[in-house]
Amino acid sequence: AVNERIIRDMQDGVVVASAGGRVRQANPQARALLGVGALEGRLLTDCDPNFEEVLTTCCDSKGRLLRLGPADRLLRCRTVCGETGAAADGDVLIYLTDFEDIQRDAQQAKLAALGRLTASMAHEIRNPLAAVTQAAELLQDERRQQTQERLLRIVADNARRIEHMIRDVLALGRREHPHPETIPLQPFIADVLEERGFRRPDERALVVANIHAGLSLQFDRAHLQQIVDNLLDNACRHCSRTPGAVQVVARALMGGRVALHVRDDGPGLDERVRAHLFEPFFTTHARGTGLGLYIARELAGANDAWLESGPDAPGADFVLTGRS
């Protein structure tokens, strides 16, 4: 009775199902999160076909993020199997956590961090701005052409660095106002690669896309282009520079979702680097702003999608997952 009271009062949804996926018991929070009345006695897949994926792929400690039930809420799903030989042998315990609540709490934390980001931004801009100012002052007195050209390069490089920072920060403001549409991925990626080919002809043979017709993402077009551009910039920077060294592929997932991969054949990600990939102002590139992946993940979140780094295969593999 005590255990039942604890389960009933838990903030997480808890479902106990048989090996065949029929519900033995569910607490009120599970019913509320899924948007259903009664669950006991029903097959989980009758409630939502995506429960088939929950039962087969959510057994690790992190679980999976899925939209489930008539409520269509984004839930973190984790399963625990009953111990062999015990009374619950064959049963599956499913924990459902409201990820939308977690996202709202995270958004509050991000707003609090925005002040710190602004202060960091001011510091980061001061350095290239000081270089521009000093070079401009030296130009006034310098008469040698070779030195003038070097100083002009310093001005131009640091001006571009400042422009990139400002562009990235402005993208943070736009994340709150996405205009999603159904974007067919095959022609979209082809257009992105064609445009990049005009700007960077050496990339034309470097990047290969393999996307089946019919796959699409619900996304703000400008947001998706910025994310893909950023991932391609990183992949092209770290790959072997041989033809086909960067691959863009997409695959359909269960539950009406699509995963878009950008892979390279470079050295992969060091675990110390991986831990900080999506932090603002973290960069391993001398001329980078450290905002690219941070902005990309923010834009993904604004479109009800998520961006993560997959296992090295053998180079880096970034995965953007969203609704089709």
Could you give all domains of the chain from N- to C-terminal order, each with its CATH number? 2-102 (3.30.450.20), 104-174 (1.10.287.130), 180-323 (3.30.565.10)
Cβ contacts of 226 within 8 Å, gap of 6 or more: 171, 295, 296, 299
Rg (CA), the chain: 25
| Mean pLDDT score, 3-12 | 70
Distance of CA 282 to the CA centre of its chain: 16
pTM, full prediction: 0.56
Residue 245 and residue 206: Cα distance in Å, rounded?
6
C-alpha to C-alpha distance for 319 and 324, rounded to whole angstroms: 15
pLDDT of residue 235: 93
Residue 23 — φ and ψ, nearest 5°?
A: -75, 125
| Separation CA 270–CA 68 (nearest Å) | 35
Q: Greater confidence, 169 or 85?
A: 169
Q: Is 97 helix (H, G, I), strand (E, B) or coil?
A: strand
Predicted pLDDT of residue 204: 87
**Which pair of structure tokens corresponds to residue 284?**
């391993």
pLDDT tens digits, 150-208: 777 777 777 777 776 676 666 555 555 688 999 999 999 999 999 988 888 888 899 99
Could you report the per-residue pLDDT of 123-159, keeping only the tens digit for each? Answer: 667 777 777 777 777 776 766 777 777 777 777 777 7
Q: What is the average pLDDT score of the chain? A: 81
Give residue 2's pLDDT.
46
Dihedral angle over CA of 278, 63, 177, 248, nearest 10: 60
Cβ within 8 Å of residue 93, ≥6 positions away = 14, 15, 16, 79, 80, 81, 82
Residues 9-48 have pLDDT tens digits of: 677 889 988 888 899 888 888 888 888 888 888 998 888 8
